[in-house]
Amino acid sequence: MALPKNTQSIQVKAGSSSYPVICGAGSLSPLSELLITHAGVGPLFVLSSPRVWNFCGPKIRHALKGANVSRVILFDDHESAKTPRAVEMLCRKLIRAGARRNATIVAAGGGVVGDIAGFVAATFLRGVSLVHVPTTLLAQVDSAIGGKTGVNLPEGKNLVGAFHQPKLVVCDPTLLNSLPERQFRAGLFEVVKYAAIADQRLFELMEAKLTGISRHDMRALMEIILRCVKIKAAIVGRDEREDGGRAVLNFGHTLGHALETVTNYRHFLHGEAVGWGMLAASLVSVALGKLDPDVAARMIRMIAGVERLPALSKTSATRILDVMQRDKKSREGIVRWVLPIGIGRAEYGAAVPQESFRRVWAALPEWERKAREAECLGAEYRA
Ligand code: GLY
Protein backbone atom coordinates (compact mmCIF):
# COMPACT_ATOMS: atom_id res chain seq x y z
CA MET A 1 0.00 0.00 0.00
CA ALA A 2 1.10 3.59 -0.62
CA LEU A 3 2.29 5.44 2.47
CA PRO A 4 1.65 9.15 3.07
CA LYS A 5 4.24 11.58 1.71
CA ASN A 6 7.35 12.07 3.88
CA THR A 7 6.75 8.74 5.59
CA GLN A 8 9.43 6.07 5.70
CA SER A 9 9.25 2.38 6.41
CA ILE A 10 12.20 0.80 8.22
CA GLN A 11 12.24 -2.96 8.34
CA VAL A 12 13.30 -4.70 11.56
CA LYS A 13 14.70 -8.08 10.55
CA ALA A 14 14.76 -9.87 13.89
CA GLY A 15 15.56 -13.58 13.86
CA SER A 16 12.03 -14.60 14.82
CA SER A 17 10.19 -12.15 12.56
CA SER A 18 10.47 -9.18 10.27
CA TYR A 19 8.24 -6.13 10.52
CA PRO A 20 8.08 -2.49 9.48
CA VAL A 21 8.38 0.61 11.61
CA ILE A 22 6.41 3.28 9.74
CA CYS A 23 7.73 6.74 10.63
CA GLY A 24 6.51 10.16 9.66
CA ALA A 25 4.08 12.97 10.35
CA GLY A 26 0.73 11.55 9.23
CA SER A 27 1.83 7.90 9.33
CA LEU A 28 -1.09 7.22 11.66
CA SER A 29 -3.74 8.02 9.03
CA PRO A 30 -3.55 4.70 7.12
CA LEU A 31 -3.53 2.71 10.41
CA SER A 32 -6.62 0.62 9.54
CA GLU A 33 -5.11 -0.49 6.22
CA LEU A 34 -1.70 -1.07 7.79
CA LEU A 35 -3.28 -3.29 10.42
CA ILE A 36 -4.97 -5.45 7.81
CA THR A 37 -1.77 -5.75 5.77
CA HIS A 38 0.49 -6.61 8.70
CA ALA A 39 -1.73 -8.11 11.41
CA GLY A 40 -4.69 -9.53 9.46
CA VAL A 41 -8.40 -9.05 9.97
CA GLY A 42 -8.83 -10.50 13.48
CA PRO A 43 -10.48 -8.44 16.24
CA LEU A 44 -8.45 -5.57 17.67
CA PHE A 45 -8.13 -4.88 21.38
CA VAL A 46 -6.67 -1.44 22.01
CA LEU A 47 -4.74 -1.19 25.28
CA SER A 48 -3.96 2.33 26.43
CA SER A 49 -4.08 4.57 29.50
CA PRO A 50 -6.62 7.22 30.54
CA ARG A 51 -4.09 10.04 30.12
CA VAL A 52 -2.89 8.86 26.69
CA TRP A 53 -6.44 8.28 25.53
CA ASN A 54 -7.42 11.72 26.73
CA PHE A 55 -4.79 13.37 24.50
CA CYS A 56 -4.34 10.94 21.61
CA GLY A 57 -7.56 8.91 21.70
CA PRO A 58 -9.47 11.06 19.19
CA LYS A 59 -6.65 10.85 16.61
CA ILE A 60 -6.17 7.12 17.10
CA ARG A 61 -9.90 6.43 17.03
CA HIS A 62 -10.14 8.40 13.79
CA ALA A 63 -7.26 6.39 12.30
CA LEU A 64 -9.00 3.17 13.34
CA LYS A 65 -12.27 4.06 11.57
CA GLY A 66 -13.51 1.00 9.72
CA ALA A 67 -11.13 -1.30 11.59
CA ASN A 68 -12.37 -4.31 13.53
CA VAL A 69 -12.01 -2.80 17.03
CA SER A 70 -13.62 -5.01 19.68
CA ARG A 71 -12.70 -3.09 22.80
CA VAL A 72 -10.58 -0.24 24.16
CA ILE A 73 -9.19 -1.08 27.60
CA LEU A 74 -7.52 1.66 29.65
CA PHE A 75 -5.15 1.07 32.55
CA ASP A 76 -2.74 3.01 34.79
CA ASP A 77 0.51 3.71 32.97
CA HIS A 78 2.65 5.00 35.83
CA GLU A 79 5.91 3.10 36.16
CA SER A 80 4.88 2.03 39.68
CA ALA A 81 1.83 0.29 38.16
CA LYS A 82 3.94 -1.83 35.76
CA THR A 83 3.37 -4.98 37.81
CA PRO A 84 2.38 -8.63 37.32
CA ARG A 85 -0.96 -7.66 38.86
CA ALA A 86 -1.62 -5.29 35.92
CA VAL A 87 -0.96 -8.15 33.50
CA GLU A 88 -3.38 -10.43 35.33
CA MET A 89 -6.04 -7.72 35.38
CA LEU A 90 -5.69 -7.10 31.64
CA CYS A 91 -5.72 -10.78 30.71
CA ARG A 92 -8.91 -11.25 32.72
CA LYS A 93 -10.52 -8.24 31.01
CA LEU A 94 -9.48 -9.56 27.61
CA ILE A 95 -10.92 -13.03 28.12
CA ARG A 96 -14.15 -11.57 29.48
CA ALA A 97 -14.30 -9.23 26.45
CA GLY A 98 -14.16 -12.25 24.14
CA ALA A 99 -10.52 -12.05 23.00
CA ARG A 100 -9.28 -15.32 21.52
CA ARG A 101 -6.16 -16.44 19.69
CA ASN A 102 -6.99 -14.47 16.55
CA ALA A 103 -6.92 -11.20 18.55
CA THR A 104 -4.45 -8.41 17.90
CA ILE A 105 -3.41 -6.20 20.79
CA VAL A 106 -2.82 -2.59 19.75
CA ALA A 107 -0.62 -0.94 22.37
CA ALA A 108 -1.26 2.81 22.19
CA GLY A 109 0.90 4.72 24.62
CA GLY A 110 4.33 5.27 26.04
CA GLY A 111 6.92 2.85 27.37
CA VAL A 112 4.84 1.54 30.26
CA VAL A 113 1.78 0.87 28.09
CA GLY A 114 3.98 -0.84 25.47
CA ASP A 115 5.84 -2.98 28.01
CA ILE A 116 2.70 -4.16 29.80
CA ALA A 117 0.56 -4.60 26.68
CA GLY A 118 3.48 -6.32 24.97
CA PHE A 119 3.86 -8.77 27.83
CA VAL A 120 0.11 -9.41 27.80
CA ALA A 121 0.34 -10.12 24.05
CA ALA A 122 3.30 -12.46 24.68
CA THR A 123 1.51 -14.51 27.33
CA PHE A 124 -2.28 -14.23 26.83
CA LEU A 125 -3.45 -17.59 25.42
CA ARG A 126 0.29 -18.32 24.93
CA GLY A 127 0.71 -15.38 22.64
CA VAL A 128 -1.35 -13.18 20.31
CA SER A 129 -0.41 -10.58 17.71
CA LEU A 130 0.88 -7.19 18.80
CA VAL A 131 1.01 -3.78 17.12
CA HIS A 132 2.61 -0.72 18.72
CA VAL A 133 1.37 2.84 18.28
CA PRO A 134 3.90 4.68 20.47
CA THR A 135 2.76 8.08 21.71
CA THR A 136 5.88 9.26 23.56
CA LEU A 137 9.29 10.13 22.18
CA LEU A 138 10.88 7.45 24.34
CA ALA A 139 8.57 4.77 22.97
CA GLN A 140 8.96 5.97 19.35
CA VAL A 141 12.76 5.90 19.40
CA ASP A 142 13.28 2.90 21.63
CA SER A 143 10.84 0.83 23.66
CA ALA A 144 8.25 0.05 20.96
CA ILE A 145 10.91 -1.49 18.73
CA GLY A 146 12.77 -4.72 19.31
CA GLY A 147 10.34 -6.95 21.16
CA LYS A 148 11.28 -6.40 24.80
CA THR A 149 8.19 -6.62 27.01
CA GLY A 150 7.80 -7.01 30.74
CA VAL A 151 6.93 -5.73 34.17
CA ASN A 152 8.78 -4.70 37.32
CA LEU A 153 9.14 -6.37 40.71
CA PRO A 154 9.93 -4.54 43.97
CA GLU A 155 13.32 -6.26 43.67
CA GLY A 156 14.14 -4.81 40.29
CA LYS A 157 13.06 -3.31 37.00
CA ASN A 158 11.75 -5.47 34.13
CA LEU A 159 12.64 -8.67 36.00
CA VAL A 160 9.64 -10.53 34.53
CA GLY A 161 9.18 -10.39 30.79
CA ALA A 162 9.46 -11.95 27.36
CA PHE A 163 10.72 -11.17 23.90
CA HIS A 164 7.67 -10.74 21.69
CA GLN A 165 8.12 -8.90 18.42
CA PRO A 166 5.25 -6.77 17.12
CA LYS A 167 3.81 -7.18 13.63
CA LEU A 168 3.98 -3.43 13.03
CA VAL A 169 5.08 -0.19 14.71
CA VAL A 170 3.62 3.17 13.66
CA CYS A 171 5.60 6.22 14.85
CA ASP A 172 3.76 9.44 14.12
CA PRO A 173 5.60 12.42 15.64
CA THR A 174 2.48 14.59 15.50
CA LEU A 175 1.25 12.49 18.43
CA LEU A 176 4.04 14.08 20.46
CA ASN A 177 2.45 17.53 20.24
CA SER A 178 0.27 16.76 23.25
CA LEU A 179 3.06 15.13 25.25
CA PRO A 180 3.78 16.80 28.61
CA GLU A 181 7.10 18.62 28.50
CA ARG A 182 8.73 16.46 31.18
CA GLN A 183 7.82 13.30 29.28
CA PHE A 184 9.20 14.75 26.06
CA ARG A 185 12.53 15.65 27.66
CA ALA A 186 12.75 12.26 29.32
CA GLY A 187 12.55 10.77 25.83
CA LEU A 188 15.39 12.99 24.66
CA PHE A 189 17.71 11.16 27.06
CA GLU A 190 17.14 7.98 25.04
CA VAL A 191 18.02 9.95 21.90
CA VAL A 192 21.24 11.06 23.60
CA LYS A 193 21.86 7.38 24.33
CA TYR A 194 21.66 6.44 20.65
CA ALA A 195 23.91 9.33 19.68
CA ALA A 196 26.46 8.46 22.36
CA ILE A 197 26.68 4.75 21.55
CA ALA A 198 26.31 4.71 17.80
CA ASP A 199 25.94 7.97 15.92
CA GLN A 200 28.40 10.85 16.09
CA ARG A 201 26.39 12.79 13.49
CA LEU A 202 23.27 12.50 15.64
CA PHE A 203 25.26 13.75 18.62
CA GLU A 204 26.41 16.79 16.66
CA LEU A 205 22.87 17.36 15.45
CA MET A 206 21.64 17.32 19.03
CA GLU A 207 24.36 19.76 20.04
CA ALA A 208 23.41 22.10 17.21
CA LYS A 209 19.63 21.77 17.32
CA LEU A 210 18.65 20.98 20.88
CA THR A 211 16.66 24.20 21.17
CA GLY A 212 14.66 23.51 17.99
CA ILE A 213 14.15 19.88 18.94
CA SER A 214 12.94 20.94 22.38
CA ARG A 215 10.39 23.18 20.66
CA HIS A 216 9.15 20.15 18.70
CA ASP A 217 10.52 21.38 15.36
CA MET A 218 8.96 18.67 13.17
CA ARG A 219 11.83 18.35 10.67
CA ALA A 220 14.48 18.04 13.37
CA LEU A 221 12.28 15.68 15.33
CA MET A 222 11.73 13.45 12.30
CA GLU A 223 15.44 13.31 11.64
CA ILE A 224 16.34 12.24 15.17
CA ILE A 225 13.52 9.70 15.35
CA LEU A 226 14.52 8.16 12.01
CA ARG A 227 18.16 7.93 13.02
CA CYS A 228 17.31 6.22 16.30
CA VAL A 229 14.88 3.79 14.66
CA LYS A 230 17.48 2.83 12.03
CA ILE A 231 20.12 2.23 14.69
CA LYS A 232 17.75 0.14 16.76
CA ALA A 233 16.59 -1.88 13.74
CA ALA A 234 20.20 -2.64 12.83
CA ILE A 235 21.20 -3.65 16.38
CA VAL A 236 18.12 -5.84 16.94
CA GLY A 237 18.65 -7.37 13.49
CA ARG A 238 22.10 -8.55 14.59
CA ASP A 239 21.18 -9.66 18.10
CA GLU A 240 17.47 -10.07 18.80
CA ARG A 241 17.74 -11.57 22.30
CA GLU A 242 20.66 -9.63 23.70
CA ASP A 243 23.16 -12.45 23.54
CA GLY A 244 25.82 -9.90 22.64
CA GLY A 245 25.83 -6.53 20.92
CA ARG A 246 22.26 -5.49 21.78
CA ALA A 247 23.55 -4.93 25.31
CA VAL A 248 25.04 -1.65 24.11
CA LEU A 249 21.48 -0.26 24.18
CA ASN A 250 21.68 -0.50 27.96
CA PHE A 251 23.99 2.51 28.16
CA GLY A 252 22.89 4.41 31.27
CA HIS A 253 20.49 1.64 32.27
CA THR A 254 22.68 -0.15 34.84
CA LEU A 255 22.46 2.72 37.31
CA GLY A 256 19.20 4.01 35.79
CA HIS A 257 17.26 0.84 36.61
CA ALA A 258 18.71 0.76 40.14
CA LEU A 259 17.63 4.36 40.72
CA GLU A 260 14.11 3.57 39.59
CA THR A 261 13.99 0.48 41.82
CA VAL A 262 15.23 2.13 45.04
CA THR A 263 12.71 4.95 44.61
CA ASN A 264 9.85 2.46 44.10
CA TYR A 265 9.44 3.63 40.49
CA ARG A 266 7.97 6.93 41.68
CA HIS A 267 10.70 9.56 41.63
CA PHE A 268 12.25 9.42 38.14
CA LEU A 269 10.81 8.99 34.70
CA HIS A 270 12.72 6.19 33.01
CA GLY A 271 14.58 8.55 30.68
CA GLU A 272 15.64 10.74 33.61
CA ALA A 273 17.09 7.77 35.48
CA VAL A 274 18.93 6.85 32.28
CA GLY A 275 20.23 10.45 32.16
CA TRP A 276 21.87 9.99 35.56
CA GLY A 277 23.08 6.56 34.46
CA MET A 278 24.76 7.93 31.32
CA LEU A 279 26.39 10.67 33.35
CA ALA A 280 27.75 8.11 35.84
CA ALA A 281 28.91 5.73 33.08
CA SER A 282 30.78 8.57 31.36
CA LEU A 283 32.61 9.43 34.58
CA VAL A 284 33.35 5.78 35.32
CA SER A 285 34.75 5.42 31.82
CA VAL A 286 37.06 8.39 32.38
CA ALA A 287 38.14 6.95 35.75
CA LEU A 288 39.04 3.66 34.03
CA GLY A 289 41.03 5.46 31.35
CA LYS A 290 38.61 4.47 28.56
CA LEU A 291 37.18 7.89 27.72
CA ASP A 292 38.88 11.19 27.04
CA PRO A 293 37.84 13.73 29.71
CA ASP A 294 37.01 16.33 27.05
CA VAL A 295 34.65 13.91 25.34
CA ALA A 296 33.06 13.13 28.71
CA ALA A 297 32.60 16.85 29.21
CA ARG A 298 30.63 17.05 25.94
CA MET A 299 28.46 14.12 26.96
CA ILE A 300 27.76 15.55 30.37
CA ARG A 301 26.95 18.99 28.96
CA MET A 302 24.53 17.37 26.56
CA ILE A 303 22.82 15.38 29.35
CA ALA A 304 22.61 18.43 31.61
CA GLY A 305 21.31 20.49 28.67
CA VAL A 306 18.31 18.23 28.06
CA GLU A 307 16.68 18.80 31.42
CA ARG A 308 17.46 19.50 35.03
CA LEU A 309 17.51 15.97 36.39
CA PRO A 310 15.41 15.18 39.48
CA ALA A 311 17.67 15.10 42.54
CA LEU A 312 19.27 11.80 43.44
CA SER A 313 17.52 10.27 46.40
CA LYS A 314 19.47 9.95 49.63
CA THR A 315 20.54 6.43 48.80
CA SER A 316 23.86 4.87 49.71
CA ALA A 317 26.25 3.51 47.11
CA THR A 318 26.00 0.16 48.92
CA ARG A 319 22.23 -0.05 48.38
CA ILE A 320 22.62 0.90 44.71
CA LEU A 321 25.37 -1.71 44.22
CA ASP A 322 23.14 -4.31 45.84
CA VAL A 323 20.26 -3.58 43.44
CA MET A 324 22.58 -3.43 40.41
CA GLN A 325 23.84 -6.92 41.25
CA ARG A 326 20.31 -8.29 40.82
CA ASP A 327 20.02 -6.67 37.41
CA LYS A 328 19.60 -8.92 34.36
CA LYS A 329 22.87 -7.55 33.02
CA SER A 330 25.00 -8.77 35.95
CA ARG A 331 26.81 -12.10 35.75
CA GLU A 332 28.02 -14.08 38.80
CA GLY A 333 27.25 -11.03 40.94
CA ILE A 334 29.48 -8.79 38.83
CA VAL A 335 27.72 -5.73 37.50
CA ARG A 336 28.24 -5.27 33.75
CA TRP A 337 28.32 -1.72 32.44
CA VAL A 338 28.10 -0.14 29.04
CA LEU A 339 30.88 2.44 28.88
CA PRO A 340 31.26 5.15 26.26
CA ILE A 341 34.70 5.14 24.68
CA GLY A 342 34.13 8.06 22.28
CA ILE A 343 31.22 9.93 20.73
CA GLY A 344 29.23 7.28 18.90
CA ARG A 345 31.24 4.39 20.35
CA ALA A 346 30.68 2.26 23.43
CA GLU A 347 31.75 -1.08 24.85
CA TYR A 348 29.50 -3.41 26.80
CA GLY A 349 30.11 -6.03 29.46
CA ALA A 350 32.64 -3.89 31.35
CA ALA A 351 33.27 -4.90 34.97
CA VAL A 352 33.62 -1.77 37.08
CA PRO A 353 35.45 -1.98 40.43
CA GLN A 354 33.11 -1.09 43.29
CA GLU A 355 35.53 1.57 44.48
CA SER A 356 35.40 3.39 41.15
CA PHE A 357 31.61 3.40 41.26
CA ARG A 358 31.55 4.64 44.87
CA ARG A 359 33.79 7.59 43.99
CA VAL A 360 31.67 8.50 40.97
CA TRP A 361 28.43 8.12 42.94
CA ALA A 362 29.63 10.53 45.62
CA ALA A 363 30.57 13.14 43.02
CA LEU A 364 27.53 12.81 40.70
CA PRO A 365 25.32 15.69 41.93
CA GLU A 366 28.26 18.08 41.80
CA TRP A 367 29.08 17.15 38.18
CA GLU A 368 25.50 17.63 37.12
CA ARG A 369 25.39 21.06 38.78
CA LYS A 370 28.67 22.11 37.17
CA ALA A 371 27.55 20.93 33.77
CA ARG A 372 24.31 22.86 34.04
CA GLU A 373 26.18 25.95 34.97
CA ALA A 374 28.50 25.25 32.02
CA GLU A 375 31.55 25.38 34.24
CA CYS A 376 32.86 22.01 33.21
CA LEU A 377 36.31 21.84 31.71
CA GLY A 378 37.62 18.62 30.29
CA ALA A 379 40.47 18.22 32.72
CA GLU A 380 38.11 18.44 35.69
CA TYR A 381 36.66 15.10 34.70
CA ARG A 382 39.81 13.23 35.62
CA ALA A 383 38.90 11.24 38.70
N1 GLY B 1 15.72 -0.65 25.40
C2 GLY B 1 16.84 -1.47 25.18
C3 GLY B 1 16.57 -2.59 24.23
O4 GLY B 1 15.53 -2.63 23.61
O5 GLY B 1 17.38 -3.47 24.09
Q: In the structure, what pLDDT confidence band is assigned to residue 326 with cuts at 50, 70 and 90?
A: confident
- The chain-wide mean pLDDT, for the chain, equals 93
Which of these is catalytic: 167, 193, 253, 329?
253
Which of these is catalytic: 152, 250, 329, 368?
250
Architecture per CATH, 8-178: 3-Layer(aba) Sandwich (3.40)
Which of these is catalytic: 59, 82, 193, 232?
232
* Start-end of CATH 1.20.1090.10 domains in the chain: 181-382
Q: In the structure, what pLDDT confidence band is assigned to residue 379 with cuts at 50, 70 and 90?
A: very low
Ligand 1: centre distance to CA 20 (Å): 17
Query: What CATH number labels 181-382?
Result: 1.20.1090.10
How far is the C-alpha of 136 from the C-alpha of 140, rounded, in Å? 6
Tens digit of each residue's pLDDT (9 = 90 or more) over 48-73 = 999 999 999 999 999 999 999 999 99
Tens digit of each residue's pLDDT (9 = 90 or more) over 243-295 = 999 999 999 999 999 999 999 999 999 999 999 999 999 999 999 999 999 99
- The minimum-distance atom of ligand 1 relative to the CA of 147 is 4
Contacts of 368 (CB under 8 A, 6+ apart): 276, 279, 300, 303, 304, 309
Tens digit of each residue's pLDDT (9 = 90 or more) over 213-223 = 988 899 999 99
Contacts of 118 (CB under 8 A, 6+ apart): 105, 107, 130, 132, 147, 148, 149, 150, 164, 166
- pTM of the shown model: 0.94
Mutate to test the pocket of ligand 1, among 250, 251, 327, 338 (most ligand atoms within 8 A of CB): 250
pLDDT of residue 362: 93
The question of whether 158 is a catalytic residue gets the answer no
Find the mean pLDDT for residues 173-182.
94
pLDDT of residue 383: 39
Contacts of 168 (CB under 8 A, 6+ apart): 19, 20, 22, 34, 35, 38, 39, 131, 132
Tens digit of each residue's pLDDT (9 = 90 or more) over 68-91 = 999 999 999 999 999 999 999 999
Ligand 1: centre distance to CA 12 (Å): 14
How far is the C-alpha of 137 from the C-alpha of 216, rounded, in Å? 11
Which of these is catalytic: 59, 227, 270, 298?
270
**Atom 5 (ligand 1) nearest CA:** 249
The question of whether 126 is a catalytic residue gets the answer yes
pLDDT of residue 335: 87
DSSP H/E element including 55:
helix 50-63
- The minimum-distance atom of ligand 1 relative to the CA of 249 is 2
* Start-end of CATH 3.40.50.1970 domains in the chain: 8-178
